[in-house]
């Protein structure tokens, strides 16, 4: 049996109200014991015979971040588009096509090495679980190979063939919807299915047809909703029991109340709000109405080119109106709920020992010290890891 003890912990965030105080379940215990990759005990001392002891004096121990929304399989960058936004251009779905061309032209090896380096960045900043979408291939072959690339890194893979209508179907958008439903979905091996339901992307009717076909093929729905314009996507997400509705920037109060009364998680994407100069105080509107909220990076080369969950926590606090506790909870427990996972996102007994150790005495520093990487060590299933592996 392998065992590890983290000891002398300055602040231990468990995310369990049974184990500690407040939303984050801050424990009074100073030692966390891991056995066989899982949380075995919270204790006031290091047990006899433990295999490895990690001294956490002056440090914070918290669940690893769960990044429940990323678009990591792509080639190229769109820095010129970003610079144009700094001169007042508005973000639109149009830029996605640039990335589609670069992605189609890239080899599997190049796509894989891009994902590896982005996930190494994420891991170094405390992320331990990641969802990865396809969506820059938009042909049968390129969507399937994007999913194959993603699957080497995570089981949380998402088919987003319905990202935008590709150029070759510009005059026949329903022809592309048919291709998704009749060819891409039946061949997909993804766990989840997602649609970008928005201006310049897919209509609610097209979205419904695609998500229903995906569900019939055994995939579980999630949805890009109300990012650029308000549609009926939130009602659709709830009707189809989507695990999560994401972005939500243009949501009405009625949308938010409907989400709060549903089991669909509201996933907010602070990096996208930050980099497209969009909605301020968005988080408060959801949190005050009792919605269950996740935050994620949305890492992609257009609207949010960040792998950093601590950055997103910081942006959630300073831009979206979250308290620090709400933001840390949304980045850990919230992300787990958005992926319908109960084995991650907390340090309850029996949970996977996916852990970030901060070189600061409090989780507050995650928001208080934007831009500094405070993550000293990341553990996946109880093991220190320096490079991302599934």
Q: How far apart are CA 257 and CA 285, in angstroms?
A: 10
Q: What is the CA radius of gyration of the chain?
A: 20
Closer of 63 and 302 to ligand NIG (Cβ): 302
Contacts with ligand NIG, residue ranges (CB under 6 A): 71, 95-96, 99, 196, 224, 227, 272, 298, 300-304
- Shorter beta-carbon distance to ligand NIG: residue 59 or 224: 224
Specify the residue, 94 or 350, whose C-beta has the smaller distance to ligand NIG.
Answer: 94
The least CB distance from residue 383 to ligand NIG, in Å, is: 32
Contact flag: residue 142 with Fe ion (CB under 5 A): no
Of residues 200-239, those binding Fe ion (CB under 5 A): none
Task: Note whether 192 and 157 are within 8 A (CB).
Answer: yes
**Residue 15 partner contact from Fe ion, ligand NIG, none using kind-dependent CB cut-offs of 5 to 8 Å:** none
301 contact, one of Fe ion, ligand NIG, none, CB 5-8 Å limit per kind: ligand NIG
Q: Which residue is nearest to Fe ion (CB)?
A: 298
- Comparing CB distances to Fe ion, the nearer of 164 and 259 is 164
CB of 272 to ligand NIG, least distance (A): 5
Task: Report the interhelical angle of 96-105 vs 140-151 (nearest 10°).
Answer: 80
How far apart are alpha carbons 4 and 266 in whole angstroms?
Answer: 35
Neighbours of 92 (CB within 10 A): 15
- Dmax of the chain from CA atoms? 70
**DSSP structure class, residue 305:** -
**Coil, helix or strand at residue 275:** helix
Pairwise CA distance, residues 12 & 14, whole Å: 6
Residues 229/199, Cβ–Cβ less than 8 Å: yes
The smaller minimum CB distance to ligand NIG, of residues 25 and 302, is found at: 302
Shortest distance (Å) from residue 272 CB to Fe ion: 7
Cα 196 to Cα 78, 158, 220, 227: the distances in Å are: 19, 12, 15, 9
- Distance separating alpha carbons of residues 164 and 144, to the nearest angstrom: 16
User: Which CB atom, from 275 or from 346, has the smaller least distance to ligand NIG?
Assistant: 275
The least CB distance from residue 388 to ligand NIG, in Å, is 21
Q: Out of Fe ion, ligand NIG, none, which partner does residue 208 contact, by CB within 5 to 8 A per kind?
A: none
CB atoms within 10 A of CB 105: 11
Smallest gap from Cβ 243 to ligand NIG, in A, equals 16
Shortest distance in whole angstroms from residue 95 CB to ligand NIG: 5
Asked if 298 interacts with Fe ion (CB under 5 A), we say: yes
**Closest approach of Cβ 301 to Fe ion, in Å?**
11
Binding site for Fe ion (CB under 5 A): 298
């Amino acid at each position: 049996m392998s065992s590890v003890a983290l000891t002398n912990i300055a602040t231990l965030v468990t995310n369990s109200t049974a184990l500690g105080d407040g939303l984050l379940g801050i424990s009074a215990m100073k030692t966390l014991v891991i056995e066989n990759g899982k949380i075995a005990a919270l204790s006031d001392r290091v047990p006899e015979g433990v295999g490895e002891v990690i001294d956490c004096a002056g440090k914070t121990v918290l669940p690893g971040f769960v990044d429940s929304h990323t678009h990591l399989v792509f080639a190229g960058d769109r820095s010129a588009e970003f610079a144009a936004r700094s001169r007042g251009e508005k973000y639109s779905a149009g830029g996605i096509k640039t990335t589609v061309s670069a992605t189609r032209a890239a080899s599997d090896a190049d796509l894989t090495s891009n994902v590896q380096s982005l996930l190494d960045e994420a891991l170094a900043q405390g992320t331990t679980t990641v969802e990865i979408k396809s969506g820059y291939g938009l042909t049968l072959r390129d969507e399937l190979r994007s999913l194959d690339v993603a699957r080497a890194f995570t089981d949380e893979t998402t088919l987003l063939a319905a990202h935008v209508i590709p150029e070759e179907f510009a005059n026949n958008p329903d022809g592309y919807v048919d291709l998704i439903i009749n060819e891409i979905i039946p061949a997909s091996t993804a766990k989840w299915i997602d649609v970008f339901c928005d201006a310049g992307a897919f209509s609610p009717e097209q979205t419904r047809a695609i998500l229903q076909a995906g569900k019939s093929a055994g995939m579980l729905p999630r949805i890009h909703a109300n990012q650029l314009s308000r549609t009926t996507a939130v009602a659709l997400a709830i009707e189809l029991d989507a695990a999560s509705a994401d972005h939500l920037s243009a949501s009405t109060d009625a949308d938010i109340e409907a989400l709060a009364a549903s089991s669909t998680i509201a996933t907010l994407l602070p990096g996208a709000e930050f980099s497209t100069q969009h909605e301020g105080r968005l988080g408060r509107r959801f949190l005050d109405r009792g919605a269950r909220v996740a935050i994620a990076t949305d890492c992609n080369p257009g609207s949010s080119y960040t792998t950093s969950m601590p950055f997103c926590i910081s942006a959630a606090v300073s831009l979206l109106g979250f308290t620090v506790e709400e933001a840390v909870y949304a980045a850990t427990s919230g992300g787990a709920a958005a992926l319908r996972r109960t084995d991650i996102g907390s340090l309850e007994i029996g949970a996977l020992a996916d852990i970030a150790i901060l070189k600061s005495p409090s989780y507050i520093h995650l928001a208080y010290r934007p831009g500094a990487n405070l993550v000293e060590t990341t553990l996946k299933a109880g093991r220190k890891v320096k490079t991302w592996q599934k």
